[in-house]
Structure 1
Amino acid sequence: MSQPVNLSYGRPYLAIPGPSVVPDRIQRAMHRAAPNIYEGELYTLTASLWPDLRALAGTAQNVATYIGNGHALWEAVNTNLFSRGDKVLVLASGAFGLGWANVAKAMGVAVEVMDFGRSAAPDMGAVEARLRADVGGEIRAVLTTHVDTASSARTDVAGLRAAMDRAGHPALLGVDCIASLGCDEFRMDDWGVDVAFAASQKGLMLPPGMGFVWFSEKARAVGSKAGLRTPYWDWAPRADGPEFWQYCHGTAPTHHLYGLREALTMLVHEEGLANVWARHEVLARTVWAAFEAWGQGHDRIGLNIAEPAARARAVTSARLGAPDGQALRQWCEHKAGVTLGIGLGMATEEDPKSAGFLRVAHMGHVNAHMTLGVLAVMEAGMRALGIAHGAGAMEAATAVVAAAAGGHGA
């Protein structure tokens, strides 16, 4: 062929860390006329959601729903827990930990940030030492992201609770699960988490627009006198209201509720959370294997998080070096129909626009052929653009899938 061919026509694939792929069956569930909001099937459907939402987070405690995205949930949690001047400790391992801290500061909360950088998860020894030093118990809550969407660092939440217990500190534990719930293993009650929250557009496989907050009885009691609480954000009527519309404090996101019912059926009842977590584990290791092969002999290419235990199972942040990261993203989207995530929050003095970083999402409605397809397109792009890389990535990636899935059919 004398001229380059554009191979992007056909069904595009969005491999970014949210919004994630919305399954066809969820789209069909939402594709309906507006329902009666005063009686009928919507009441029965909505009532069926709460046990499954609790199961999703691993809790028998309270759940509240909101119309909003992750940024709205930061504000919801802050208003229900804190008064102006309350002190909190935020553990940051990327852009979104810092984002939650900044929102709390803007609301008048006294925030202390332990910043562990952009390429490592929180150090539990350092956290324990800081809490031991708070002999007066001024810190009301320890807040962290389970998975930071920008860096793809994953906090050891169970280890964090253990560090807090060793320090004998009474603070609440709050966890941002927006990028992890329905992807990375999470057990709210078993791990001693007091507040957790997630949004609809990532592991829950829905369009953006709904948010969920799970909270313990301890959090309810501690926050009962929160001075920042307002009528809209108040989680009590959302968790306790006798009518379905009170769960959303006004007109409900009706079509999202139909989609949510389908998503919870898929995750909790059909696939089961143990397999959901295992599937994301395998797909993450598939991506890691490819990057490790590409990086052999090429130091510019590598995973952002060096320690496997500290890596997200929902998304992988990696470097190719500027401007190769941005060039590869553009090639994959415009030449092959695969959209990769930008290098969000990874700017340096040498790379002020994070052009050397990209993110590969493997969250939600994703299986082996989708992930392997993304990696194959990326390798084709490296070849087309002349980006030097190590060999054997596809062999390494397919070996992970083959070993995990075994040699037997369904």
Structure 2
Amino acid sequence: MNAKLESGVTSLPVTRQTFDEVLVPTYAPAAMVPVRAAGLDVWDQEGKHYLDFTSGIAVSSLGHCNPLLVDAVTRQVNTLWHLGNGYTNEPVLRLASILTAATFADRAFFCNSGAEANEAALKLARKYAHTKFGPHKSRIVSCLSSFHGRTLFTVSVGGQPKYTEGFEPLPQEINHIAYNDIESARTAITDDVAAVIVEPIQGEGGVIPGDIDFLKALRELCDKTGALLVFDEVQSGVGRTGALYDYMNVGVTPDILTSAKALGNGYPIGAMLTTDEIAQHFNVGSHGTTYGGNPLAATVALNVVEQINQPSFLARVNEASAKLFAQLEKLSNDFPQLFGKPRGKGLLIGLPMAEGNKGRAKDYTKTAEKLGLMLLIAGPDVVRLAPALVVSDEQLIEADRIMRDAAQAFIAG
């Protein structure tokens, strides 16, 4: 061990500068370092308070350090942590049971992230097509501006070239169509397509809801060609859009659904849900993961789903959504030089920057952060709001006040 770390490693003083010294520079985090949180409240190293309207990129939907989740995971920590996939465990069996009972699916596969869930979905789709139709049916169709993860396969399927530059050669037989463009879909989805993967609401691509007619057309084209329809609900799932999963809002049922982010409220877990017929093409040894479905992650997710998948809880999400949309509409009207009209669904909302301020979404969020409000971006042109689903009316009002102050400060320069 390095001499300077021989004692007191767990209490080693660290700052934001430490990130630049010891971590691979794949991120450019904020200057402040959060150290404590509860609900939607966050405090940094200096003791400054922030209202968190990011929920860890639509993850901590029940709030930071949710007492029920803390209690559940503490009990599991003192019971059973990890077994490996040579054994099953009670929490994962209960989690699979509750998810299949609540959705179209018959089977669940658990992993550690949304990227892994999408990787599993795409591998399964190709395996299914290869077995049922032959190796010629292998092409995958995705949408421009989509985001499906950072593995080489999923980042290639995502329709954003900035994430694939320098990683060539990329996996083959992947094509991209314009989002919400039915004619583009009809041209691309032919008999050699194994899977069509789509976000029912694009998150990283700018918070753009899928047109119901477009999503229905994808379903019809998949039925016609024998392709599997995969809904990536990593960001939109587990209550974020006011239903347990957004496919329930749009009335289009996929063949495979992927879930992560809010499923674990900050504890890493991902899930791929599908039908009996499709699941059988993943036989023993054809896919796997060391940590997927471990008792700790499954316990957290089980309690998350039980809390969120209640009519009263989802009704409150839709109520809070209506109030937040109304606030943002008024904000846009009051600052037309700064913002366009809000868009999105539930508590996943994008606020586009107005024409004269395109590319400056990050500048605005930095201004809001200085005033005590944590916000996200969805590309350079869109401010993204994804507060915990337990956000109160008082917190909505406080966020509106800070956003207005931030708008004034932003305009003043």
Q: Residue 13 in 1 paired to residue 51 in 2?
A: yes
Kindly provide the amino acid, as one letter, of the partner of residue 178 in structure 2. Answer: D
> CA offsets per residue over residues 113-138 of structure 1, 9 Å max, x none?
0033xxxxx2345424544xx3xx11
Aligned counterparts, 1:10-409, within 5 A: 11-16=49-54, 17-20=57-60, 21-22=63-64, 23-32=66-75, 33-36=77-80, 43-56=89-102, 58-66=103-111, 68-82=112-126, 86-92=138-144, 94-96=145-147, 100=154, 102-103=156-157, 108-116=171-179, 122-124=180-182, 126-128=184-186, 130-131=188-189, 134=190, 137-150=191-204, 151-156=206-211, 160-165=215-220, 168-182=224-238, 183-184=240-241, 185=243, 186=245, 191-199=252-260, 201-202=261-262, 204=263, 206-220=265-279, 223=281, 231=285, 233-234=287-288, 253-268=294-309, 272=310, 274-296=311-333, 298-303=336-341, 305=343, 311-320=344-353, 321=357, 325-336=361-372, 338-341=373-376, 343-344=377-378, 346=379, 354=380, 356-386=381-411
For the aligned residue pairs, the C-alpha RMSD in angstroms reads 3.6
In 2: Cα distance, 1:262 partner to 1:87 partner: 38
Match of 1:400 in 2: none
- 5+ residue gaps, structure 1, are 1-6, 117-121, 235-247, 306-310, 347-353, 389-410
In 1: Cα distance, 2:124 partner to 2:321 partner: 35
Kindly provide the amino acid, as one letter, of the partner of residue 403 in structure 2. Answer: M
How far residue 299 of structure 1 moved from its aligned partner, in angstroms, is 4.2
**8 Å Cα contact 1:69-1:208 kept in structure 2:** no
Kindly provide the amino acid, as one letter, of the partner of residue 185 in structure 2. Answer: V
In 2: Cα distance, 1:323 partner to 1:169 partner: 40
In 2: Cα distance, 1:145 partner to 1:152 partner: 10
How far residue 172 of structure 1 moved from its aligned partner, in angstroms, is 0.8
> CA offsets per residue over residues 230-273 of structure 1, 9 Å max, x none?
94734xxxxxxxxxxxxx656853332332232122123xxx1x
Match of 1:119 in 2: none
Kindly provide the amino acid, as one letter, of the partner of residue 31 in structure 1. Answer: T
In 2: Cα distance, 1:322 partner to 1:387 partner: 17
Alpha-carbon distance change, 276 to 55 in structure 1, aligned in 2, over 3 angstroms: farther
SS at match of 2:375: strand
SS at match of 1:65: strand
Provide the aligned length of Structure 1 versus Structure 2: 328
SS at match of 2:202: coil
Match of 2:21 in 1: none
SS at match of 2:371: helix
In 2: Cα distance, 1:107 partner to 1:254 partner: 35
In 1: Cα distance, 2:212 partner to 2:254 partner: 8
Alpha-carbon distance change, 192 to 258 in structure 1, aligned in 2, over 3 angstroms: closer
> CA offsets per residue over residues 48-86 of structure 1, 9 Å max, x none?
222222244x224111111x2212222222222226871
Alpha-carbon distance change, 98 to 147 in structure 1, aligned in 2, over 3 angstroms: same
**8 Å Cα contact 2:200-2:246 kept in structure 1:** no
SS at match of 2:279: helix
How far residue 339 of structure 1 moved from its aligned partner, in angstroms, is 0.9
Query: Which structure exhibits the higher relative contact order, with contacts defined as CA atoms closer than 8 Å and separated by 6 or more residues?
Result: 1
In 2: Cα distance, 1:210 partner to 1:38 partner: 14
In 2: Cα distance, 1:316 partner to 1:303 partner: 10
Alpha-carbon distance change, 218 to 253 in structure 1, aligned in 2, over 3 angstroms: closer
